[in-house]
C-alpha cells in the first residue's frame, strides 16, 4: 500500500476571508476553485508536493443534495462552530495510480465536476469530531503542477508533516488509523481543533500560529 499527501483543507467562512492571514505571513495565493454540483468553493495555496485549501459552502441546496450530501461537507461546514472538525485530508497514490491499493475502506463519489469514469473515494462512517478523509485514486502527482505559484515570500517548499490536534482525544475511524500507520498524519489531544503543517522538516526552526483567524500552525 503506497499513498502520499495530496492536499489538506480547512472549512472557513464564505469567500474565506481567513486567507488574508496566510498572505500576511508571506504565502502567495494560487487559483480559486468552485466544485460544480457540490455547492462548495475554495481558495488555494500551492507548494511543491501538495496544497492547502480554504473551503466553504456557497450553495446550501447543492451541498445538501445527493450525492454531495453523503460527503457530509455541509454537516461539517454548518456545524464547524458546534464541535465538528473543520479539516479534511486527501491522499493520492504514490507513484503510478493504476493498481495501487486504497489505504482505507471507501465509497465512490462521482461529482458532476469530474468525468464520469473518475471518482473521489470517501472514507465512510468518519465521525464529525475527526477530519474527513479522501483518496484520489486518479491523481498522479500534485494537482495543476507547473500552473500554480509555489515561490513564497517565506522559504517553504514541501509539506513534510501533518499533525492534527483533536479536543475529543485520539481518533478511532479506520481511515484515521490507516493514515497514521502510513506516517502521513499524526494526531494528539488538544484544547481545540488545530492543524499543524511542517515544511521542509522544520529545518529553519520558524513557527507561526494563525489562531484565532485560522486553526493552523505553520512550522518551517
With a cut of 80, say whether residue 96 has pLDDT above it: no
> Which of the residue ranges 24-38, 50-64, 93-107, 179-193 would you say has the lowest mean pLDDT?
93-107
pLDDT at position 95 is 77
Greater confidence, 172 or 100? 172
Whole-angstrom Cα distance, residue 123 to residue 134? Answer: 6
Question: What's the gap between Cα 9 and its chain centre?
Answer: 3
CATH code at 3-141+155-219: 3.10.180
Average pLDDT over residues 21-34: 98
Q: What is the mean pLDDT of the chain?
A: 96
Average pLDDT over residues 88-99: 82
Three-state DSSP at 77 gives helix
With a cut of 80, say whether residue 218 has pLDDT above it: yes
Residues 6+ apart with CB under 8 A from 98: none
Nearest CA-CA partner of 9 in 92, 88, 63, 79: 88
What band does 125 get if pLDDT is binned at 50, 70 and 90?
confident
State the cell numbers at 145.
Answer: 503542477
pLDDT at position 6 is 98
What band does 97 get if pLDDT is binned at 50, 70 and 90?
low
Residue identified by cell 499524526 is 186
- Taking only Cα atoms into account, the Rg of the chain, rounded to an integer number of angstroms, comes to 16
Residues 6+ apart with CB under 8 A from 87: 8, 9, 10, 11, 131, 132, 164, 193, 195
What band does 1 get if pLDDT is binned at 50, 70 and 90?
low
Region of residue 150 (left: phi > 0; alpha: psi -120 to 50; beta: else): alpha
With a cut of 80, say whether residue 98 has pLDDT above it: no
What band does 99 get if pLDDT is binned at 50, 70 and 90?
low
CB atoms within 10 A of CB 78: 16
Kindly report, residue by residue over 194-215, the tens digit of the pLDDT.
Answer: 999 999 999 999 999 999 999 9
Amino acid at each position: 500500500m503506497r499513498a502520499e499527501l495530496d492536499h489538506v483543507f480547512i472549512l472557513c467562512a464564505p469567500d474565506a476571508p481567513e486567507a488574508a492571514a496566510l498572505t500576511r505571513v508571506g504565502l502567495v495565493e494560487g487559483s480559486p476553485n468552485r466544485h460544480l454540483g457540490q455547492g462548495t468553493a475554495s481558495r488555494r495555496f500551492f507548494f511543491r508536493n501538495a496544497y492547502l485549501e480554504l473551503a466553504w459552502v456557497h450553495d446550501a441546496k447543492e451541498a445538501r443534495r445527493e450525492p454531495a450530501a453523503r460527503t457530509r461537507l455541509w454537516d461539517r461546514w454548518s456545524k464547524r462552530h458546534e464541535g465538528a472538525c473543520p479539516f479534511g485530508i486527501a491522499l493520492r497514490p504514490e507513484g503510478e495510480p493504476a493498481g495501487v491499493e486504497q489505504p482505507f475502506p471507501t465509497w465512490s463519489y462521482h461529482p458532476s465536476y469530474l468525468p464520469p469514469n473518475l471518482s473521489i473515494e470517501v472514507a465512510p462512517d468518519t465521525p464529525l469530531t475527526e477530519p474527513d478523509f479522501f483518496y484520489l485514486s486518479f491523481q498522479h502527482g500534485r494537482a495543476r503542477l507547473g500552473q500554480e505559484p509555489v515561490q513564497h515570500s517565506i522559504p517553504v517548499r514541501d509539506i513534510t508533516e501533518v499533525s492534527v490536534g483533536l479536543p475529543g482525544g485520539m481518533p478511532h475511524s479506520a481511515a484515521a488509523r490507516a493514515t497514521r500507520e502510513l506516517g502521513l498524519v499524526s494526531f494528539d489531544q488538544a484544547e481545540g481543533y488545530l492543524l499543524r503543517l511542517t515544511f521542509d522538516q522544520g529545518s529553519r526552526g520558524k513557527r507561526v500560529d494563525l489562531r484565532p483567524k485560522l486553526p493552523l500552525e505553520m512550522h518551517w
